[in-house]
């Protein structure tokens, strides 16, 4: 199996993880394949919506076929950065049977703090925690193997340890190249990159873990409480080193 599907919510360190896997000589990457179909089907307003719909395939069936198609650039692995809440009920998921999967999670207080800076009006579904939890159960049943869960804080605390353990769980060789990458934009970044990727474009590796305590404003407290419940379940399943 050549497809590595990462299932992450927004502002979870997901683009840095895409940079990490993209630094491997044997891996091609794909940024949020189902985002354009999701926007087209739901009509949701997101930063970069029009650019995304113009630049990316909006037919979910075509995207699904490409997910398990030829790996670009003759690479061995095809790393795909997916978001569970983009997978609407009528979007094809049969392709996932032949992929390797893992889930990336992050403390919802930190996610809300970061997400609100780029899109102040959002709801619980936009953060994807409930969809993550349901999809973890579904993929566990579909593939017969519970996907590894990694927490972004653990990665920042110990990048080499956590990522090498993740590679072992995915049955792929560890590559030291995953710890650093060149700064800058990528052709593989989605059309929404100008709205969300400014920080990761400056990065050359995983930053030290944040020391600040997130402040979640009152307007988001209900979202935080609901997201926390699903996060806690997923956190209890996380990979430890």
- Give pLDDT tens digits for 78-110: 999 999 999 999 999 999 999 999 999 999 999
Q: Flag whether pLDDT at 1 surpasses 80.
A: no
Q: Are 104 and 152 in contact (CB under 8 A)?
A: yes
Cα–chain-centroid distance for residue 150? 11
pLDDT at position 210 is: 86
Return d(Cα 97, Cα 34) in angstroms, integer.
Answer: 17
The domains of the chain, with CATH numbers, are 3-235 (3.40.50.300)
Across the chain, mean pLDDT equals: 96
Kindly report the backbone phi and psi dihedral angles of residue 120, in degrees, each rounded to the nearest multiple of 5, phi listed first: -70, -30
Return d(Cα 111, Cα 66) in angstroms, integer.
Answer: 30
Quick one: tokens of 105? 């999670």
Q: Are 82 and 9 in contact (CB under 8 A)?
A: no
Q: Which residues fall within 8 angstroms of residue 130, CB to CB, at 6 or more apart?
A: 124, 226, 230
């Amino acid at each position: 199996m050549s497809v590595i599907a990462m299932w992450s919510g927004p502002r979870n360190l997901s683009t840095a993880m895409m940079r990490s896997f993209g630094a491997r000589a044997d891996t091609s990457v794909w940024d949020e394949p189902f985002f354009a179909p999701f926007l087209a089907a739901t009509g949701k307003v997101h930063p970069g919506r029009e650019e995304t719909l113009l630049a990316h395939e909006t037919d979910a069936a075509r995207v699904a076929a490409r997910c398990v198609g030829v790996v670009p650039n003759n690479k061995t692995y095809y790393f795909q950065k997916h978001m569970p809440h983009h997978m609407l009920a009528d979007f094809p998921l049969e392709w996932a049977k032949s992929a390797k999967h893992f889930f990336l999670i992050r403390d919802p207080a930190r996610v809300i703090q970061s997400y609100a800076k780029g899109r102040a009006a959002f709801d619980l579904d936009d953060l994807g925690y409930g969809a993550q939890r349901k999809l973890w159960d579904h993929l566990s049943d579909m593939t017969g193997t519970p996907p590894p869960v990694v927490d972004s804080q653990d990665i920042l605390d110990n990048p080499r340890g956590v990522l090498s353990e993740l590679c072992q769980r995915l049955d792929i060789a560890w590559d030291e190249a995953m710890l650093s990458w060149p700064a800058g934009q990528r052709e593989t970044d989605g059309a929404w990159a100008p709205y969300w990727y400014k920080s990761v474009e400056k990065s050359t590796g995983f930053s030290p873990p944040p020391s600040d305590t997130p402040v979640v404003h009152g307007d988001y407290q209900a979202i935080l409480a609901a997201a926390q419940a699903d996060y806690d379940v997923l956190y209890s399943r996380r990979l430890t080193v």
